[in-house]
Structure 1
């Protein structure tokens, strides 16, 4: 039994999920600021469609994630942390506390249908909430509203009201769900993944990790895949000498190949061409390349670089 094998199992990378509900019961959330990357993350875990009871909104670390609607309690749990963290920047943009509070009922009034950001800004102006559409103010106001549980952002990047009600849950429950998705993991990893301050993470309950043995699983993972983003310390999966090839700054994670939990190569796609740069021996990725081709509806051309 190894930590890498356990993490691959927890992330559904060594045994596929059957549908989105099964997947999100395990992994809790998928990073979703880049929708094609989220689709690749689901594919690597056995799910070929994101159709279902999923909501795209701001959650862990204040970034866009896909969540099952039953898990939207995390918005109420984390939202106040990121609202407080963003206050200074909002004020710099002219988004005073008073304006933000007025904007919430205004958004409930104008979001009668899914709208693009420009249309939201135009409708808000009509009801007395004037924003400079060329500034960052609209993005920060909409994020504030999302952290307040008022709206979410569809896979098509339109904004719509968020009206799903769930029972509140606490940090202990988020820790349990995190450990189910990423264990073995530490409280420091949990802090990095969630964005919660460490002072809120004291006396976390003990959580047992499911045992697993190496299975030889090979997966080609895309940008922002949760497998690496779930940890502060990624050394169990990524050798220090390969970090610059994978973590290129700004939270960006280059598409990479994982074999039994270890990152062994990076890859990129240009149309039907898949260029793979191995760190050592070439991994056996023929089946993964073929599946990616089917998923993306291309005839894949594999090139080693």
Structure 2
């Protein structure tokens, strides 16, 4: 039986509150690990954007705090392959869930030619070789390639994968699988070269949770952070087959771990069982969010988060995250771009509507905060953003 209808504005306010977007975490309240845990994961394809995503959610934090959480003596974050096979920050404390759940998500059809694909046994062999090579080591991609080929055979090094300006060896097609199985993560750069290590060397030695337990926990965590949500919305976020996601939701519903609610006339939305309290007041205020911020990627329905002109201006073919966005009262109301020259950071913001005096002052404060997180001096420019979507 569904509970009373929940408005989108109430759901949106709860999402922002739980993600430290209404009130950034105070010192001692939550560190980078806890903040990323609240986000569920932080997209890190663009390092500066990931540092902003986390830093803007913490009062007074800078990118150095985020880097210390990644590479310091007691790391609380790991940079590895996360949902959708893309690079994310994940909290060390939840790696057993992530490795168990990501390994449980069924893969889609291979994009590679039949003769270039790896068999399941070859995939296992390569993942095992990666884990052995990275045990207690930090290796560049070339060093790791030599180790993998030496442990498997020349077939793993065949240059068959189309890359940016050439061809990559066959084994690299399953690097994300190694990340999902918990045997590979990023280590500090060696000069300009990216290096890799095992997550155990980054601070986590707990084994993965079982697939069933981990998948159920990930769904409950998703619903806590972004609910009410449907199983297709979760499937889209996780790049998982819709049927598999539906089966996980059905199992959790049967066990009484999640419950159905009605949001904006959609009765097939779900929340964690008993988690039905929502803020009475709508969101107020101005926020700047960077490329690929978790909030805009995971929040649905898109039509409510990106209303009117925002749906055309701030989405790339319906895909969220490709533009840094301006939020006004909890919805996307513009786009922005930053350009750095030394310590000066020019923040150009293109509102899609007029801002009142109070919102203009908040925008100035947000631009200043962007500069602080990135350890620079922000200069705010209000005007058209000429830069297109992130490729």
- TM-score, normalised with respect to structure 1: 0.88
In structure 2, what is the equivalent of residue 101 of structure 1? 124
Aligned residues: 304
Deviates more, 1:193-202 or 1:10-19: 193-202
Please give the root-mean-square deviation of Cα atoms over the aligned residues, in Å.
Answer: 2.5
Q: How many angstroms apart in 2 are the aligned matches of 1:128 and 1:101? A: 11
Indicate the larger mover: 284-293 or 157-166: 157-166
Moved more, 138-147 or 35-44: 138-147
Q: Which residue of 2 aligns with 1:174?
A: 218
**CA drift at 1:137:** 3.1
Task: Indicate whether 1:135 and 2:168 are aligned.
Answer: yes
Q: Is the 8 A contact 2:285 2:328 kept in 1?
A: yes
Structure-2 separation of matches of 1:198 and 1:240: 28
Q: CA deviation at 1:196?
A: 2.7
Q: Any idea what SS the aligned residue of 1:158 has?
A: strand
Deviation at 1:223, TM superposition (A): 0.5
User: Is the counterpart of residue 233 in structure 1 residue 301 in structure 2?
Assistant: yes
Deviations 1:79-111 (A, max 9, x none): 2435x3265638553433333222233223322
Long gaps (5+) in structure 2? 1-8, 70-74, 160-166, 260-271, 384-391
Shift of 1:262: 0.7
The 3 A distance-change label for structure 1 pair 192 and 258 is same
Partner Cα separation in structure 2 for residue 237 and residue 80 of structure 1:
30
Q: Which moved more, 1:286-295 or 1:21-30?
A: 21-30
Aligned equivalent of 1:292: 370
Question: Is 1:63 aligned to 2:86, yes or no?
Answer: yes
Q: 2: distance between equivalents of 1:94 and 1:237?
A: 39
Structure 1 residues 53 and 129: CA distance shift in structure 2, 3 A: farther
Cα–Cα, structure 1 residues 129 and 55, in superposed 2: closer, same or farther, change >3 Å?
farther
State the distance in 1 between where 2:98 and 2:116 align. 27
Q: Is the deviation greater in 161-170 or in 177-186?
A: 161-170
Q: Specify the alignment match of 1:35 in structure 2.
A: 47
- Hey, what does 1:278 align to over in structure 2? 351
Task: Give the CA deviation at 1:256.
Answer: 0.8
Q: In 2, distance between residues paired with 1:57 and 1:90?
A: 26
Bigger Rg, structure 1 or 2: 2
Aligned CA distance change for structure 1 residues 183 and 197 (closer, same or farther; 3 Å):
same
* Bigger shift: residues 294-303 or 155-164: 155-164
Alpha-carbon distance between aligned partners in 2 of 1:99 and 1:124, rounded to the nearest angstrom:
12
Is the deviation greater in 124-133 or in 104-113?
124-133
Match of 1:255 among 305, 324, 329: 324
Query: Does the CA contact (< 8 Å) of 2:182 and 2:199 recur in 1?
Result: yes
> How far 1:75 moved relative to its partner?
1.9
Structure 1: unaligned runs, 5 residues or longer? none
Q: Secondary structure at the match of 1:248?
A: coil
**1:155 deviation in Å?**
6.0
